[in-house]
Amino acid sequence: MLRIVHDAASYGYEIVTRLESLGPLAAGENTVYPLLRRLKTDHHLDTFSVDSPAGPPRQYYRLTAQGQRRLAALEKEWDAMVRAVDRCVVAGSRGSKGVAS
């Protein structure tokens, strides 16, 4: 979620649509909106309203400085996890020939 709003401020439905386009990472409105509220409460996101041509004003979400720091920490953790999984897969493929997983 933080990565999505990192590049540009987005409103809730736009975020839901972007997540749906990612296939297995899809998250519906029942997941996205509570998470957005929590990230705002935790001061990782800030909001502002923009008039909408169709309906009420849209609430846009953007990263705060704290949110940028949290995103950087999460990306570092993710990179470490990816490297660990890669090492595990390589080690497993060397030692498990003929062994069912």
- The helix or strand, by DSSP H or E, that contains position 63, with its residue range, turns out to be strand 58-63
Burial class (CB in 10 A: 0-12, 13-18, 19+), 67: buried
Domain architecture of the chain: domains with CATH: 2-95 (1.10.10.10)
pLDDT at position 94, please? 73
State the pLDDT confidence band at 31, using cuts at 50, 70 and 90: confident
pLDDT at position 97, please? 56
Q: Are 43 and 101 in contact (CB under 8 A)?
A: no
pLDDT at position 57, please? 93
Lowest-pLDDT choice from 12-16, 19-23, 68-72: 19-23
Neighbours of 46 (CB within 10 A): 17
Q: What is the mean pLDDT of residues 41-65?
A: 95
Q: What is the mean pLDDT of residues 34-55?
A: 95
pLDDT at position 28, please? 79
Whether the pLDDT of residue 99 is over 80: the answer is no
d(C-alpha 48, C-alpha 23), whole Å? 29
